[in-house]
Amino acid sequence: MNSPDISDVVTEQPVVLIVDDVPDNVSLLHDAMEQAGYTVLVALDGASALQRAAQALPDVILLDARMPGMDGFEVARRLKADAETSHIPIIFMTSLTETEHIEAALAAGGVDYVTKPVKPREVIARMRVHLNAARAQRQARNALDAFGYASITVRVQDGKLMWQTPLARELLMRYFGTSAPETPEKVLLWVRQSVQRLGESGSTSFEPSRLVIDNADRRLSFRLHQQTGDGEAGGDAGGDWLIVMRESNDATIMESMSAQFGLTAREAEVLYWVVKGKINRDIGDILGTSPATVKKHLERIHAKMGVETRTSAAAMALNRIKQLHPQFEG
């Protein structure tokens, strides 16, 4: 039984980390997993399990509950407390079948458990269920990134940032200079207030207000999406919450207005600043042109939009912008 070196694990096959202090137990599972097409890593104690999980980021972990030194419950708690490993499904292997031990395994972060002596075919069947669920969730979140929507998961109880997509990591560092497991203070305050209001409303249709952070000509919006962790069924505030983020900037909004109303790039710029409440003189200063030129642009904008006043144009544009860019603050 040879476990591959972590540096060599570059494969399309699912990677399984088996954690058990009894070599015979490991050998039985190792051979069955390899025969089933999995790449298998092994750890014989808690400290090695944490190290291997952090380095290899396996797709699933089979974790013995009772080990000398650091037991499986503590290993699971530490994995779930680390943003880099918190998403990995953990299946406990235990000979402890009392309800309190099963509850302890699930409370520590396990998604499932199998009883010893383990039956490899049963373990593989359980693994496939959780691997498919984790893969679907990961693909959905990566798809959000691809379309410019980043996502993070925040645990309300202690304020830890438990999970983030690559785009979310980049945006949080740019806007706040922070990284997981630290949740930016302003974001955490907004999450807790939103969750509280959601609970007080008693309505599943209630949508908390969004958080918008400005950074020069760019802005980052946060939307509370759904509860994903403990407390989901009961609706309390102690679970994990998935938050969707999106960045927009002045240029993308102007492009949207140009496309929506058939405006030239300069006309879209003028309309944008009208929406922002600027007068002709201010718009001229911003664009490096005269108030008279701004007025001429406005006349063409009114004609293309079918309105007669700048107030009507601004109202129509703001309504359309908020449909396309909900995070925009006029």
| Distance in angstroms (rounded) separating the CA atoms of residues 83 and 180 | 6
| Distance in angstroms (rounded) separating the CA atoms of residues 191 and 98 | 37
Closest of 25, 30, 28 to residue 2, by C-alpha: 30
- pLDDT score of 162: 81
> What mean pLDDT comes out for the span 107-121?
88
The tens digit of pLDDT for each residue in 314-330 reads 999 888 887 776 656 55
- Between the alpha carbon of residue 259 and those of residues 250, 255, 304, the distances in Å are 14, 6, 12
Could you count the other beta carbons within 10 Å of the beta carbon of residue 233?
8
- How sure is the predictor about 9, in pLDDT bands with cuts at 50, 70 and 90? very low
DSSP 279-304: -HHHHHHHHTS-HHHHHHHHHHHHHH
> What mean pLDDT comes out for the span 281-295?
91
Domains and CATH numbers, the chain: 6-140 (3.40.50.2300), 148-247 (3.30.450.20), 262-324 (1.10.10.10)
Predicted TM-score (pTM) of this structure = 0.52
- Total residue count of the chain as it appears in this document: 330
The tens digit of pLDDT for each residue in 203-219 reads 656 677 888 888 877 88
Tell me which of 133-147, 155-169, 250-264 is least confident.
133-147
- pLDDT score of 80: 85
- pLDDT score of 280: 93
- pLDDT score of 140: 66
The tens digit of pLDDT for each residue in 18-35 reads 999 999 889 999 999 999
